[in-house]
Amino acid sequence: MKTLTPLLALALTVSGTALAAFAAEPSKTPVTVTNHPLEFIDTSFENASPVWYEFAPDGTVLVHLLYDHERSSPNRAAGHIHFQLHAKPGSRLTLEFKNLDNVWNGVSGSIARELKTVVISEDGRAWNSVPLESLPDNRVRLHVEMPGPRLYIARVEPYRLSDLDKFVAGIRTNRLIQVTVIGRTVQGRELELIRLGNSQAPFRVFLRARAHAWEPGGNWVVEGLVRRLLKDDADARKYLERYCLYVLPMANKDGVALGRTRFNFQGKDLNRDWDKPADPRLAPENAALEQWLEGMVKAGQAPHVALELHNDGGGLLHISRPPVPELPRHLERMATLEELLRKHTWFTEGSTKGSFRNSGTLGDGWLERYRIDAVVHEFNCNWISGLKDYPSARHWQTYGEKLATVFYEYFGAVKP
Ligand SMILES: [Zn+2]
């Protein structure tokens, strides 16, 4: 102990001196921003993306997105964009997005080439798409003119927890709906599983949206599908005689609430590790769903098809190929699904190539472990080729409406 004391004293002295020197040292590079029209970037609201910003000498606003990180992995992700500009009405602003160097499946790569559009809105409700300018060296810029003193900027039309709450509140008293809380997120938010229709219908379809927080497309698709099936017209009744719908509408609620990009609050990717039992401590969102699914399997009520809904820059059906004896049958059924999507919706993007496998996704894992025809469905966040238009909540809702017919015909075509 005696030998340690002088060392400790020395350490304290050194650190104390260093701290004092740091505090006393004047700033070496004065930062002057004179008369810039941007007053503030507000990120204090629901689903806002955490950012920090600074001004380049030419007046460009450099917006630094913050990464979220995956546990025990080099993976990191930024790319969620949702903030509000406060600036002089009529002023023109140039924003450059920084920190686009994501790491995905252990491979680093910039998402700059995937970042082609954003949406803007004065009220956070009515949105318009704006193309981004791509510059060399993975740089992406946005030019906007302020229509008023405030302007929201987002990657795609946001879908917040409050939007989901409103949606669920509006349908939950319908006699065709049953809402069950199957578990809680890391931060304790309730995970609702929505059943629509008669559990005794001959077929069951399952949808999950929003495993990745920045990707709201699936939520709009779910809304479109649910509203279509609740119309109570002749077609809806016909569809619901054939199948019952189960939906987990928002898996990564914590990430959505706090404006994260990809992982849950324990740094887990909720569209990974489906090749093994979920860890209830690190991924309670998946553990809850797994427990629900295993209950359904035990009751002889396993879903016949499952869609895991995502956004990316491609919009493909991700058909994974785990080594299961049912693989040829699965590929045949996915071909049927793709054909029906092309027939009834604006889907034209196609599916992944024959060598594709992405282990541990819900699509891959549910097929491997439960022999359920499960697939990841991406929705292109930049462009809808089939409509020659930018994506929007309305277009995704329309897609969901048409899915009602797709599932009806799918179950008519495949043998159980
Ligand atoms: Zn995703």
- Measured in Å, residue 377 CA sits from the centre of ligand 1 at 9
- Measured in Å, residue 230 CA sits from the centre of ligand 1 at 28
Q: How far is 36 from 55, CA to CA, in rounded Å?
A: 9
The string of DSSP letters for 53-72 reads: EEE-TTS-EEEEEPPEE-TT
Q: Of 232, 369, 403, which is closest to residue 293 (Cα–Cα)?
A: 369
- Measured in Å, residue 332 CA sits from the centre of ligand 1 at 25
- Measured in Å, residue 7 CA sits from the centre of ligand 1 at 52
- Measured in Å, residue 211 CA sits from the centre of ligand 1 at 7
- Dig out the tokens for 28 from the structure: 């070496």
- Measured in Å, residue 212 CA sits from the centre of ligand 1 at 5
- Measured in Å, residue 182 CA sits from the centre of ligand 1 at 22
- Measured in Å, residue 262 CA sits from the centre of ligand 1 at 7
pLDDT for res 34: 74
- Measured in Å, residue 145 CA sits from the centre of ligand 1 at 31
- Measured in Å, residue 187 CA sits from the centre of ligand 1 at 21
Q: What is the edge-to-edge ordering of all strands in the sheet holding 51-55?
A: 51-55, 61-65, 92-98, 139-145, 133-135
pLDDT for res 15: 43
Give, to the nearest 10 degrees, the angle between helix 234-242 and helix 217-229. 110
- Measured in Å, residue 312 CA sits from the centre of ligand 1 at 7
- Measured in Å, residue 120 CA sits from the centre of ligand 1 at 22
3-state secondary structure of 281: coil
pLDDT for res 13: 42
- Measured in Å, residue 358 CA sits from the centre of ligand 1 at 12
- Measured in Å, residue 214 CA sits from the centre of ligand 1 at 8
Buried (b) or exposed (e) across 400-416, using 16+ Cβ within 10 A?
Answer: bbbbbbbbbbbbeebee
Contacts of 113 (CB under 8 A, 6+ apart): 134, 138, 313
pLDDT for res 28: 75
The tens-digit pLDDT sequence of the chain (416 residues) is 444 444 444 444 444 444 455 556 666 777 777 789 999 999 999 999 999 999 999 999 999 999 999 999 999 999 999 999 999 999 999 999 999 999 999 999 999 999 999 999 999 999 999 999 999 999 999 999 999 999 999 999 999 999 999 999 999 999 999 999 999 999 999 999 999 999 999 999 999 999 999 999 999 999 999 999 999 999 999 999 999 999 999 999 999 999 999 999 999 999 999 999 999 999 999 999 999 999 999 999 999 999 999 999 999 999 999 999 999 999 999 999 999 999 999 999 999 999 999 999 999 999 999 999 999 999 999 999 999 999 999 999 999 999 999 999 999 999 76
pLDDT for res 29: 74
- Measured in Å, residue 269 CA sits from the centre of ligand 1 at 9
- Measured in Å, residue 311 CA sits from the centre of ligand 1 at 6
- Number of DSSP helices (H) and strands (E) in the chain, helices first: 9, 21
Burial, 387: exposed, middle or buried (Cβ in 10 Å; 0-12, 13-18, 19+)? middle
- Measured in Å, residue 272 CA sits from the centre of ligand 1 at 10
- Measured in Å, residue 410 CA sits from the centre of ligand 1 at 25
- Measured in Å, residue 308 CA sits from the centre of ligand 1 at 9
Q: Which helix (H) or strand (E) holds 331?
A: helix 327-344
